[in-house]
Chains A and B, each alone.
Chain A
């Protein structure tokens, strides 16, 4: 699973380095997927019952990473949707989605 998250990170970073704004957003989505998987993996993938208390069950999987990921998913969703709208607006305003053309002026 570490390898999978590594690959997700690879693809995410590669997309981040592209010119098109859309690809960059795709990249962030992949990056957040990779990060969530990474957190889960780090918590240990030992199998156990889902962390819902039930009589007779003694081992549960670690609930803490799950809570963290849950928070993270919601936040990255918020960010992604905001980015999407921002990209849309930037495209409408500037008429391009090429990041190389979206550079600031020289005086900055």
Chain B
């Protein structure tokens, strides 16, 4: 059943265009809404079972390769599954009111449903290769959704960028998967976890780890791969809310959490994941303050929050993992609602620029209230009605506890981590305040807005209201969420059952609360004085940015490959011939020397004087062709070579050859002479000395190569020629005395047949060429 449910959105996506085309009266979204809701309800029914008993389902796909559509249902996958289907339902509901019926809704919902399948597939897959298939499907559908308004230049740029970066990471991850499955001889994640020491003890462990983490970091927009996320904000807002805050960007988080049982506990994992996570946390929150676009702020905020979750997964302690899982849930709720609020503001005012916004509180009271909850939850304001506060508190708790962990690496780095976390959280607080107060308070600038804003229709508000309700409910009653969702998920990541209670209140004398208060105080001060220190952005990052690096690399790749291609694809026949012949000579001579082909033995054949005379004549003739500039002389000298060849055939007892060569040479020469009148004069062409020299070197070395091969081939003879067979059976089987002719028409008659066809085709070709006239030619 679950197998079917995962691909249900994909199957339904086939019908969306049909529904869109045929049922014009109803917004297509209403029909789509059914799918995520039913998945959500079905997954809820798993919840009670899953608490203690994870289970797996299997469905044969490619059993001969050991690749099966295996599903694994445990706390972690259920948590993500519920997020995907739950927020998916809300986003579809929101998009019904956000997107007008004139948009290409058929496309939109098709892409969205493909994405939903891909995402569900990722979180439930047990097989790494199936996982990878769904992983790339998310990249693809995200690409389609970002470029939904494909008539905009920026949408296309953002879509391409996200595609390139996430696919780059996906391929790296795939390499890591292949490596892991070779080491453990299985492609099932569960079995890999059981044999995890095979991976951690292998000498390639670091390479595998980096490859897998590259996949996770690109998908989850970790530093320095975060650059695609702000550009992905060109997507319609429901898409941003769904893909780029709640679900897709958490795929990397999911990957790290899922494979924690293999990697966690090693120093490398701790160092890479924690440091990248913390760096992303600080950089994202720092850069968010600089943004002026609502969605830009939210994008950088997502980056920073994902960094925070990633860092906690990197810590790998019980409380840290629990906090990470908790924050995944919380972030999905408040970030989803904030995106929807940003979409509403955009929808009602026509702009998302905070420099033009302000004072919307009086005009849009409901929206503003919703925003308060989201923003304060994101900032971690120490009030127990915001779930973000609870998970942030746990984050601080985890960082403080880190130095008490066993292991030198924890003890040496641990003490610094709370300060980094503090720094990131302060900036988080500042941008959250900017986000709210610049939009909803202050003076309203009606003249800069496109229309007079007011609260949107209730349907549009419904989804954010649900999410905000969740924010408060999770904060006030964390117990059931903890029991059914968070604890099973943590157990799935840690591999052991752990019970953590979410406390509203830690009591007065504890460090995390003190840290939260520090964030509050310093954050408020920084927010109020931001005009004074905002100049710091001119210094860091200043003119230097990751985006420029990306553009530079992309530009460089295009320019570089153009340069390379034009350097050898000159369009000049001469250069190609040079390359072909030169390459043949180099490879041939190298092989010749490498295999020691120098041993020449001369046996049997001695040259008589007439033979030598003919050979010398031919040499002279051939060389003189090079220098002749008179065409008739050229043709005749060429004839000398041919007739010389037929004379040689006479000497070497080849009467048929001599005959044919004689005739063919005669015909060729007469053909040349026939065409002589029409042919161009062999004018002396001016060639530069170096060109001539290169030509000479290439041709001489090729000649030497041929000579050497000819000479050395006589020196080694491994088996007798089969010619004695022809000699013996020519009369008895073929019934002829002329052995060559018997070979041609009897023993190897097929060659002759096709040789005849070659002649025929040549004749037809010549005929066609002569008769061919360009259009408009008059004769």
Contacts and interface: CB of A to CB of B under 8 A. Distances in A.
B703 interface: yes
A67 B766 contact: no
Interface in A2-27: 2-24, 26
Interface in B674-709: 675, 678-680, 682-683, 685, 687, 695-696, 698-700, 702-704, 706-707
A13 B774 contact: no
B738 interface: yes
B765 interface: yes
Contacts of B573: 24, 99, 102
B703 A13 contact: yes
A81 B655 contact: no
Given A38-B706, A73-B660, A26 B625 contact: yes
B743 interface: yes
B755 A74 contact: yes
Interface in B239-292: none
B645 A37 contact: yes
Contacts of B660: 70, 73-74
Contact of A30 (B638, B683, B758): B638
Contact of B652 (A10, A19, A42, A61): A61
B406 interface: no
A80 to B, nearest CB: 6
A5 B707 contact: yes
A50 B622 contact: no
Contacts of B649: 40
B699 A62 contact: no
B716 to A, nearest CB: 12
Interface string A84-105: 1111110111000111101110
B769 A11 contact: no
A5 B706 contact: yes
B654 A66 contact: yes
Contact of B710 (A42, A88, A108): A42
Contacts of B710: 1-2, 5-6, 38, 41-42
B685 A67 contact: no
Interface string A68-84: 01110111011111101
A103 B605 contact: no
A92 B678 contact: yes
Contacts of A20: 680, 682-683, 685
Contact of A52 (B622, B625, B737): B737
Nearest to A3: B707
Contact of A9 (B672, B683, B702): B702
B208 interface: no
Contacts of A98: 685
A81 B605 contact: no
Interface string B609-633: 0000001001100110110000100
A52 B658 CA distance: 14
B699 A14 contact: yes
Interface of A is mostly: helix
Given A64-B743, A103-B571, A7 B737 contact: no
B195 interface: no
Contacts of A11: 622-623, 625-626, 699
B759 interface: yes
A53 B623 contact: no
Nearest to A43: B721
Nearest to B721: A62
A40 B661 CA distance: 13
A52 B738 contact: yes
Contact of A77 (B578, B664, B731): B664
Most B-side CB within 10 Å, residue of A12, A61, A67: A67
Contacts of B179: none
Most A-side CB within 10 Å, residue of B660, B680, B744, B748: B680
A65 B739 CA distance: 12
Contacts of B758: 74-75, 78
A60 B721 CA distance: 13
A53 B622 contact: no
Nearest to B641: A33
A96 B535 CA distance: 67
Contacts of B572: 99-100, 103
Contacts of B703: 6-7, 9-10, 13
A42 B713 contact: yes
B699 A45 contact: no
Given A11-B622, A67-B740, A84-B672, A2 B604 contact: no
Contacts of A104: 571
A53 B618 contact: no
B714 A44 contact: yes
B722 interface: yes
Contact of B699 (A1, A10, A69, A75): A10
Nearest to A96: B680
B186 interface: no
Contacts of B687: 19
B642 interface: yes
A71 B751 contact: yes
B645 A51 contact: no
A43 B726 CA distance: 14
Given A22-B680, A100-B572, A8 B622 contact: yes
11 contacts: A6-B710, A11-B626, A22-B682, A36-B661, A63-B730, A63-B739, A73-B660, A78-B759, A82-B769, A85-B766, A85-B770
Pairs A-B, 6 closest by C-beta atoms? A10-B703, A6-B707, A2-B710, A78-B762, A13-B699, A14-B699
Given A13-B699, A47-B652, A48-B653, 15 more contacts: A9-B706, A16-B577, A22-B680, A29-B638, A38-B710, A42-B710, A47-B605, A51-B739, A67-B743, A71-B755, A74-B758, A75-B755, A78-B759, A85-B766, A104-B571
Interface of A: 1-24, 26, 29-30, 33-34, 36-38, 40-54, 60-64, 66-67, 69-71, 73-75, 77-82, 84-89, 91-93, 97-100, 102-104, 106, 108
